[in-house]
Amino acid sequence: MAGSETVIQEYPDIAIRLNVNGRDYVVTVKPYERLIDVLRYKLGFTSVKEGCGRGECGACVVLMDGKLVPSCLVLAIRANGSKIVTLEGLAPEGKLHAIQKAFLDTLGVQCGFCFPGVIIATKYLLDRVSDPSDEDIKNYLEGQLCRCGSYLRFIKAVKLAVKYIKEGKIYFDLKEVKG
Ligand code: FES
Ligand code: FES
């Protein structure tokens, strides 16, 4: 019937600027888009995993201006102008960061789904506490849910990462990684 249409208007695109892993991006987003979706689906940083989607599991954590944040709870427009670090940004191309190597060496993961978030949370921890106690590790990783129950191995892995870093071994060639 003429004159009775309902006009649905889409929200406008908004251009935001992000620096992800040292590289600058300009991305257009909707006002309701989440940072996790921009990182994963627009920029291709697929290490950022979605578990719960509501800030409870830690699978999606990234460093945003040095703070550990669940990217599923951050609107992309709120991240405008921020510096973001994901797992992909921890080591140069072809290398692994000491934390990644330590988790592999201790077989700290099983299915690996939680792995990127746990490693980013460990980086956040070691940036603040260079030689953490078991309690420090538990406190800093308490938001990281591991469905496979690898928690005790996480403690071993963090301690091995500390050892590598103390020895000045920050990066490892991929060929040094066990089979
Ligand atoms: S997916 Fe973000 S905290 Fe679980
Ligand atoms: S290793 Fe499977 S969720 Fe942590």
User: What are the pLDDT tens digits along the chain (179 aa)?
Assistant: 557 899 988 999 999 999 999 999 999 999 999 999 999 999 999 999 999 999 999 999 999 999 999 999 999 999 999 999 999 999 999 999 999 999 999 976 689 999 999 999 999 999 999 999 999 999 999 999 999 988 889 999 999 999 999 999 999 998 877 55
**From CA 22, how far away is CA 127, in angstroms rounded?**
18
The residue segments making up the domain with residue 26 are 14-89
Q: Which ligand is nearest to the CA of 114?
A: 2
**From CA 178, how far away is CA 160, in angstroms rounded?**
15
Q: Do residues 163 and 139 both lie within one domain?
A: yes
pTM of the model: 0.93
Q: Which ligand is nearest to the CA of 36?
A: 1
In a domain, 2, yes or no: no
Does ligand 2 lie within 6 Å of residue 111's CB atom?
yes
In a domain, 7, yes or no: no
Does ligand 2 lie within 6 Å of residue 112's CB atom?
yes
Q: What is the pLDDT of residue 150?
A: 86
Q: What is the pLDDT of residue 128?
A: 98
Q: What is the pLDDT of residue 61?
A: 98
Torsional sign, CA 55, 57, 62, 66: positive
Distance 145 CA to ligand 2 centre (A): 8
Task: Please state, as a whole number, how many other Cβ atoms lie within 10 Å of the Cβ of residue 120.
Answer: 25
Q: What is the pLDDT of residue 108?
A: 60
**Closest Cα to atom 4 of ligand 2:** 146
The residue out of 35, 70, 89 marking a domain boundary is 89
Q: Which ligand is nearest to the CA of 153?
A: 2
Q: Do residues 23 and 78 both lie within one domain?
A: yes
Distance 116 CA to ligand 2 centre (A): 10
In a domain, 148, yes or no: yes
In a domain, 115, yes or no: yes
Q: Relative to the CA of 57, which ligand 1 atom is closest?
A: 4
Report whether 158 contacts 137 (CB < 8 A): yes
